[in-house]
Amino acid sequence: MIDAAGIGDVRRELERIGCLSSTSPSFQNQLLSYLDMNADRGDFLVEVGCFRGGLTAQLAYFAREAGKDLFVVDVDPKYLNMARETVTRALGGLPSCVHFVQADLRNFLARPRPSDRCVLLFIDGDHHYDGVVRDIRAVLDSGLERPLSICFHDYGLRYTARDHLDVRVDRAIHDLLGDHAVIPIGEVAGFSGVMPTEPVVADSGAHFESGASEGVVVVLPAAQTVARRVDRPEGGRVRRLLRSTLPAGVRRTLRSALAGPRR
C-alpha cells in the first residue's frame, strides 16, 4: 500500500516551494491509488509533459517506493530541468530510478527501454487534437505489452482563444480509442468549484466542458486470438480445428511457444 504520510510530506514541500501540480488533489489521489493497485503489471511508468514537476515528484516517490523506473518525457528542456530540481527538493535527493528525457512520446518509445511492461503511461503534453492523436498512435505502434493503461489529463479542456480552439483531448481519445471503455478520473467540471466551466483567463479562455471529467484512464486489453474470441473458455473447438490445419512441425513449435520457457 502506498505510504500516504510520505506522499503528504512530498505535497507539503511542493506547496512550500510553489510547485504544485495543475492536476487536482482528487486526480492525484486516484492516479497514485491506481498505480499502487496495478504496480505488478509493469516495470516502469512514463509521464509525458512534466511542466514544473508537481506531479513528477509524486510519481517519483511512488516509483522509488515500488521499485519501478519513472521516465519523465518533455519536449522542453527548461521544464525538464525545473522538474528535476522539484523532484530533488521534494524527495530530498534525486532517486536513481527517475530518468529525464527530452523527446516527444514517439521518439521516446523508439529508444531502448528496460522492458515492454509499462505500469501506466500518463499523457499530459500537447493537448491539441493532432498532438493527442500523435501520442495515441505512438503508443499503438510501440509494441508495449497489453493490458496497457493510459491516463490522459485535461480530458474536457476547452479554450476560447483562436489558436487553441482545436484543444480536444476528449475527441482524439474517442476517435482513436472509442472501442475501449473510457474511465473517468479526478474531478468532474461543474460538480465542484475546482474546474471552471466558464472562461476565466482573459487571454486564453481556458475552461472545462461542464460534466466532463478532469482525466480518463483507457486500458488497452491483451490481444486475443480469433479462436480465443470465438471459443468459449471450456470449449476450444475452433482452436483445435485451426491447429489441425497446420503442418505437424508448426503445431509442435506453436505448442512449445505457448507452453512458455522451461524452468
Ligand X SMILES: C[S@@+](CC[C@H](N)C(=O)[O-])C[C@H]1O[C@@H](n2cnc3c(N)ncnc32)[C@H](O)[C@@H]1O
> Which range binds ligand X by CB under 6 A, 75-83, 112-120, 194-202, 222-230?
75-83
- What is the number of other CB atoms lying within 10 angstroms of the CB of residue 241? 11
Residues forming a β-bridge with 172: none
The CA–CA distances, whole Å, from 201 to 21, 50, 160, 198, 204 equal 18, 22, 10, 9, 6
In the complex with ligand X, which residue's Cβ is closer, 50 or 144?
50
Start-end of H helices in the chain = 4-16, 25-37, 56-66, 77-91, 105-109, 129-140, 169-177, 226-230, 237-244, 248-259
> Which range binds ligand X by CB under 6 A, 73-81, 144-152, 200-208, 242-250?
73-81
Q: Which of 14, 39, 73, 118 binds ligand X (CB under 6 A)?
A: 73
CB of 179 to ligand X, least distance (A): 24
> Which range binds ligand X by CB under 6 A, 17-25, 86-94, 138-146, 187-195?
17-25
* Residue ranges in 112-131 that form contacts with ligand X under rule CB under 6 A: 124-126, 131
74 binds ligand X (CB under 6 A): yes
Q: Which residue has the cell 525545473?
A: 82
The CA–CA distances, whole Å, from 140 to 24, 145, 192 equal 28, 10, 35
Of 214, 235, 209, 217, residue with least CA distance to 122: 217
Q: Which of 44, 51, 61, 152 binds ligand X (CB under 6 A)?
A: 51
> Which range binds ligand X by CB under 6 A, 42-50, 183-191, 229-237, 250-258?
42-50
49 binds ligand X (CB under 6 A): yes
> Which residues contact ligand X by CB under 6 A?
21-23, 48-51, 54-55, 73-76, 79, 104-105, 124-126, 131
